[in-house]
Amino acid sequence: MKFDKILTSGNVFFTSDTHYSHKNICRGVTDWRTQDGEVPVHSTRDFNTIELMNNALVDNINSVVGQDDTLIHLGDFSFGGFENIGNFLDRLVCKNIHLVLGNHDTHIKYDRDGIQDRFLSVQQYLEVKINDYYFVLSHYPLQSWHGLNKGVIHLHGHVHLPKNLKFGNGKKMDVGVDGNDLNPYLIDDIIKIMNKRDIASDMIKDHHLDGLIGVVG
């Protein structure tokens, strides 16, 4: 398989959907309400203030991702204003950050004030080989992906799945912080998990799994 290579150093970590400074995802200050008028517990994080939530995100990353490590972030980096992108970056020890754009990363997508220079790379989608393993990386979950039938791992974010739901069929996983106690994932831990999972698809019928000879795509 012909997959890209990206510059990595030290240990490699994955994360997604940090939503740094996102007011409505913070339970103590959210304006979100259920149809019954209650604060939506399952859609918010258990912090009284945005500052406490932000501190937890920063501390959890800095406690494991070092200066010489690599962090691959699968989108929705920050929220609540352009300045919060820089504020979050300034607080992180790791400066080797690759970003796969999420739906809330508009300022980064359009490179406001050259903000993309603060990342090692910025892209919409990645097919990449790291440590002899192949990954398809996107912010959004895919039902089928390049190399699925050959054991390629698909990592994504966007859907904020809890721990018990973060795995799709086969080698597919939501690496968002909400399914991991607001922590990033070490690549070695992901590989150990995925090596135990069968090749499968979320599609009801996916011809890539039929073992056909001569099928391309």
Q: Quick one: which of 149, 153, 127 has its CA closest to 200?
A: 149
Residue 169 pLDDT more than 80? Answer: yes
Residue 199 DSSP class? P
What would the two tokens of residue 25 be?
Answer: 């995802």
Tell me the per-residue pLDDT of 92-142, one tens digit each, with 9 for 90 and over: 999 999 999 999 999 999 999 999 999 999 999 999 999 899 999 999 999
Q: How many CA atoms, within 13 angstroms, populate the side-chain half-sphere of residue 15? A: 25
The amino acid sitting at 162 is P
* CA 176/CA 173 separation, integer angstroms: 9
Using 50, 70 and 90 to split pLDDT, how confident is the model at 210? Answer: low
pTM: 0.93
pLDDT of 217: 43
Residue 110 and residue 104 in contact, taking contact as beta carbons nearer than 8 Å: no
Residue 49 pLDDT more than 90? Answer: yes
Question: What structural domains and CATH numbers belong to the chain?
Answer: 12-209 (3.60.21.10)
